[in-house]
Amino acid sequence: MDLIQKELLEAVAGLHEIPAGAFNIRSNGKSVERRTTEHIDIISKEDGSGIDIIVKPEVRGESVHIPVIISQSGLSEAVYNDFHIGENADVTIIAGCGIHNGGTKASQHDGIHRFFIAPGAKVRYIEKHYGNGDGMGERIMNPQTIVHIAENGYMEMETAQIKGVDSTERLTTAGLAAGATLVVTERLLTHGCQSAKSTFEVALNGEGSGTHIISRSVAKERSKQLFISRVSGNAPCSGHTECDAIIMDEASVQAVPEIAANCTDAALIHEAAIGKIAGEQIVKLMTLGLTEQQAEEQIISGFLK
């Protein structure tokens, strides 16, 4: 890999070297390096459109890295990855996509990930998106995550898009059986003329199922954001969805939280708040020796964390 590809790999997956455990690294439309383990298998789909990741039952404390990097201007791809998590397994999956575009044509990655989480299994899923490059071509990422959680399964999703993505449409859909839990934390920063749309659709179908969705976002300059959250309680369950956004400059933010109770024992809450940075916060930090710009950066950084 060249220096650009190594920088992208570090940004989206935190990798400075080949990771321990199972991994699959995809670069410019091809799988370039892979390792499987005794308990985790990675198999290419026959049509070449993606991979199947199979985690055996009862596996504990192992990880899978599946980063995607693009450094070729004008490359557009759609990748389909399926995750089969065995009963009572406990695994961490680190994904993400980085695009460097130094040309004039748009580069685009559409990642479609399906999770089939068996009873009692636990998944921590981390996905980061990052773009750089001084070319005029757009950097476009459209991730789609489809989640099926069986009885007493658990999934924790951490998604982050902090820099350099010109356009993104992020869709997460989930169906939860009895006792299953989905926890989502989204962090998003847009600037320039960037646009971002995030949609969450969660169906709480089983007794005792629950979800907690939190979105933290900052919109700067002339960027636009749209947050949509739909939680359906179809059984005795609990659900909470929350969107907090900071708006700056000439940006625009729209939040559309929606909850639907289809059972008398469904307890659902939605919250949304959009506002600017309070002036007294900036003044307080400036009294400590920071410039106004440094104070803003400190506040934004703390908010997104």
How far apart, in whole angstroms, are the C-alpha atoms of residue 286 and residue 294? 8
Domain residue spans of the chain: 3-304
Q: What is the pLDDT of residues 113-129, one digit of tens each?
A: 999 999 999 999 999 99
Q: What is the pLDDT of residue 296?
A: 86
Q: Are 213 and 240 in contact (CB under 8 A)?
A: yes
pLDDT tens figures, 70-114: 999 999 999 999 999 999 999 999 998 999 999 999 999 999 999
Residues ≥6 apart with Cβ < 8 Å to 57: 86, 87, 88, 89, 118
